[in-house]
Amino acid sequence: MKYRAYRLHFRGALHIGSNRPGFEHTEDIIHSDTLFSAIINAWSQMEPDFVTTLIPPEKDSITDFPFRISSAFPFYGNQFFFPKPYTKIWQEDSDNSPTTVKSQKKVRFIEKTVLESVLNGKLLEYYFEGNQTVTAYYSPDSPLDSPPGKAYDVPRLKIDRNNQGQTIFYFTRIVFQPNAGLFFLVDCQDETLLHTFEAALRLLGDMGIGGDRSVGHGLFTPESVADFELKTPDNPTHRYVLSLTHPAPNDDVTLLKNSGYDLIERKGWAWSGRGISLRRKAVRMLMEGSVLQKPGFKGDIIKVLDTKETDWALEHPLYRNGLLFGIPYIHGDKL
């Protein structure tokens, strides 16, 4: 199955905030809701009226949208890494070695060719090299000798406005290798929107994404990946999820009984533009790597802050993208 894929080549450091307090931690991926909001924000700089038609402010939940995007995951050269599915992917180890089991648990991402075997219902024979230093990225044919990006703690100084007291805190940022970065997939139902979508993505690259954009963090150059294809099964039983997913009101949540998944809480603050910080509603979402029973979910874009809830401090409601981006997956047993 062919998908539109885009590499993001970062020109400098990147900081993507997490649910943890402070700046001492950064995500090493960009979740789909963050990436979607950033693209829509850049799009609104070019066509504000059109964005309003895509996301009508009177709706609390939107399930039909002209495109869906995945989260952004690491790539290194021509190797694309995907989140390890929340299901059994390894063959039984005859030795039942604690070292092997411990090493398997450290795997967070699997390379594209490995994923294709998993999608087609094959259990993997785990190859563990004792001298392999990058255990989080599983690529047995060409293991990585260093991670795509490395996190650095940068000391910062906070000065109290009242008594001029000084406090040191740390700001974590990721710097990618020259031939590495993040990539994401797009499923576009309306091909006429692609030109504007890519224009918004280029504008976002110049605006930046994440924290500390004022000092050049988060700037990137997008690159379209030609003929990106995943070998998927013809008769799938499940869907492998590459985005954060919020169940829509009409989604059948009972299908989760035969699914493998984890949950994440998404929350945070919004800047009103009038000097007021506003807290968005927290929502729980299915994480990337979830394996959901077919037909499963569609997901939705859910309203997390309405204008009337803020005494009209906002000019428009705020939404969070929870549309499902699923890949066909075949699995014979219960998860």
pLDDT for the residue 274: 55
Q: Where are the domains of the chain?
A: 1-57+68-77+178-231, 233-335
Q: Which of 256, 291, 253, 1 is nearest to 121 (CA)?
A: 291
pLDDT for the residue 43: 93
Q: Which of 177, 209, 205 is nearest to 31 (CA)?
A: 209
Residues near 330 by beta carbon (within 8 Å), at least 6 away in sequence: 119, 120, 121, 233, 235, 236, 237, 238
Q: What is the pLDDT along the chain (335 residues), one digit of tens a residue?
A: 889 999 999 999 999 987 665 566 889 999 999 999 999 999 989 998 888 888 888 899 999 999 999 999 999 999 999 999 999 999 887 666 777 888 888 999 999 999 999 999 999 888 876 556 788 999 988 889 899 999 998 888 878 878 877 888 788 899 999 999 999 999 998 889 999 999 999 999 999 999 888 888 999 999 999 889 999 999 999 999 999 999 999 998 888 888 899 999 998 877 655 556 788 889 999 999 999 988 778 999 999 988 877 666 677 888 999 999 999 999 765 55
User: Is residue 215 exposed (0-12), middle (13-18) or buried (19+ Cβ within 10 Å)?
Assistant: exposed
- 189 neighbors 69 (Cβ within 8 angstroms): no
Whose tokens are 């050269």? That residue is 77
For domain 1-57+68-77+178-231, the CATH architecture is 2-Layer Sandwich (3.30)
Q: Which of 329, 159, 145, 321 is nearest to 243 (CA)?
A: 321
Question: Looking at residue 257, what DSSP letter applies?
Answer: G
pLDDT for the residue 275: 54
Whose tokens are 């929107």? That residue is 193
- Residue 172 is which amino acid? T
Strand pairing of 318-323 and 326-329?
unpaired
Strand pairing of 180-188 and 73-76?
antiparallel
- 301 neighbors 323 (Cβ within 8 angstroms): yes
> pTM of this prediction?
0.91
Distance in angstroms (rounded) separating the CA atoms of residues 38 and 57: 18
pLDDT for the residue 104: 87
Distance in angstroms (rounded) separating the CA atoms of residues 293 and 334: 10
Residues in the chain: 335
Q: Which of 203, 162, 206 is nearest to 12 (CA)?
A: 206
Strand pairing of 137-138 and 109-111?
parallel
Distance in angstroms (rounded) separating the CA atoms of residues 213 and 11: 12
CA distances from 142 to 64, 78, 103, 116, 121 (A): 40, 11, 17, 16, 22
3-state secondary structure of 95: coil
User: Is residue 12 exposed (0-12), middle (13-18) or buried (19+ Cβ within 10 Å)?
Assistant: middle
Distance in angstroms (rounded) separating the CA atoms of residues 225 and 185: 10
pLDDT for the residue 257: 85
CA distances from 164 to 154, 157, 160, 167, 290 (A): 21, 11, 5, 10, 48
